[in-house]
Amino acid sequence: MIRVALSVRRESAPSVKSITVIGSGFSERSDPAALVIGLTGVALSKNRKTLYVADSLNNPIAAISATHSPGSRAPTRGSTFSIGGVLNDPLGMALGTNGDILTANGNDGNSVVTKPNGVQSATILLDPAGTGVLFGLTAVPGQGVYFVDDGTNTLDLLH
């Protein structure tokens, strides 16, 4: 897992300023139905000090310190932030407006709400079709959570 810092100017194409390894040692494998199974979603904590990572191969949410400095040794897998419970192939991930971590399950059509202390606090059915339909999530203050539903080929809103 890497962090790419870009220099963006209106008058020219973006250019890479630096590349920093922020995590390594995560499992992955190729899959004919999904191309690659492994790390799939990320969310940055409100204080910008922790990067949450959805691991669809091993089923946890990992937490990686986002504050180590360039040139320092990157953490290998971070720490397990949340595992088991109702996580079921976590794919898309977003930070809720209240700081909760929202994860889209790839195997059952649910979204899992996880508190900043790692406790899974709610499950919300987003699509009863279940397997393989949920991907991206984003929380928009005052509106709700937008999510991609690949089963209906739509961008939907959960209020």
Domain count along the chain: 1
Q: 94-124, pLDDT tens digit by residue?
A: 999 899 999 999 889 999 999 999 999 999 9
In a domain, residue 8? The reply is no
In a domain, 7, yes or no: no
Does 106 reside within a domain?
yes
Residue 105 belongs to a domain with what CATH number?
Answer: 2.120.10.30
Residue 9 lies inside a defined structural domain of this protein: no
Residue 19 lies in a domain: no
Give the total residue count for the chain: 159
70 is in which domain, residue-wise?
30-158
Question: pLDDT digit string (tens) for 127-153?
Answer: 888 777 887 889 999 999 999 888 888
Beta pairing partners, 113 = 102, 122
Say if 21 falls within a structural domain: no
Domain-embedded: residue 16: no
Where does residue 42 rank: exposed (0-12), middle (13-18), buried (19+ CB within 10 A)?
Answer: middle
Question: Residue 88: inside a domain, yes or no?
Answer: yes
